[in-house]
Structure 1
C-alpha cells in the first residue's frame, strides 16, 4: 500500500529522482523520460474521460489503471538484482494486451473500412483520443529507446503499441462510428 504523508521531500532538488528499486538517476534519464511520458498520457486519458460515455469511460478507467501498472513496470529496472520474492516488481502481462486487442476487434467490427487516412479531429472526444494516441506513440518510442540501452519488459512496449491502436479505433467510434472522421485529402491546398 502507498502512503504519502508529505508530497515534497527535497530529495530531488539536485536533479535526481528515485527509481522503484531506490536507485537514484537524473530526472532526464531515458527511463524517467519513458515512464514520465506514460504519466503524461494518463493525464490526457483523464481529460478524454470528461467527454466519454459509460462504456468508453469504463474502458478508459481500465486503461488509466494499466498505465499506472506500466509506470510501475518502467520505473523498476527489469534486471533488478535486488528483487524481493515477497514483493516482486509489478510487470505488464500479455492479458492486458489481449484485452486491448479484443476491444479493438469489437470496435473495428462496427466501423466501415478506411479508404483514406484521417486527420485528428471531429468530435471533442475523438480529438482528445487522437491526442492520447500520439502521446502513446511517443511513450512507445521512448520505451524502445530505453530498451536499446537497458533491459525492459518487452510486454510494456507491446502494450504501448497496441494502446495507440486502441485510441485510434476508439477515436473513430467517438466520431459517430467513423461517419464524422475528417478525411485527409492529399494535395488539397496546392
Structure 2
C-alpha cells in the first residue's frame, strides 16, 4: 500500500506494487514536485478566509510554493514544515490551526511548523503591488532609471531600477522625492521593492 511523504504528500510506492502503472504514478509525482518547487496559486480571502486544500498524491493547493493573495481574511495552511512565498495585495492573517500570525501587504515568507512570518516590512525594505500589470515609460512620470532603458512592458521576472526626482506615484505606490526602488514584473502586477524610506502603498 502506498504512503504519502509528510510535507508535500508525494506517493511512496511499496516494493513490487503498481504493476504496469508505476510510470503514471511516477510522472504524477514529478508534476507535484514541480508544483511544490515553483507553482503559484491565486487565493481570494475577501469572503472571510480560505483553507488550502491538501490531498495525498494528487494535485492540490497547499503544495504550491507561491501564494498571491487578495483580501484581508484568514488563510489556513497545513501544520507541516513548508516554506511559502507570499505576494499579498492586502494584509491578512495566517494560521496552521495552532498559531496565528499577521501578514502585511507586500512580499513575505511564511515558515510553517512552527508558523512564523518574515516580511520585507520587518526589515528596511518595502514590497507592494503596483498596477497596471504592464508598466512602461508612460507610467513612470517623475521617476528616472538608475541604469538602462524603460521597456514597453516589464515581463514576469524582469525588473528596472528607478529613483524619484520628485514626489511621484506609480499605480498604487507613492514615492517621496529621492526614494529609489526596483520594479519587478510578475504575473499579477508589478512588485515594487525598495531599500530606502519614502516608498508607501496607498
Identify the structure with the greater strand proportion.
Answer: 2
Identify the structure with the greater helix proportion.
Answer: 1
Answer yes or no: same fold by TM over 0.5.
no
Q: TM-score, normalised by structure 2?
A: 0.24
Q: TM-score, normalised by structure 1?
A: 0.25
Bigger Cα Rg: 2
Larger RCO (alpha carbons 8 Å, 6+ apart): 1
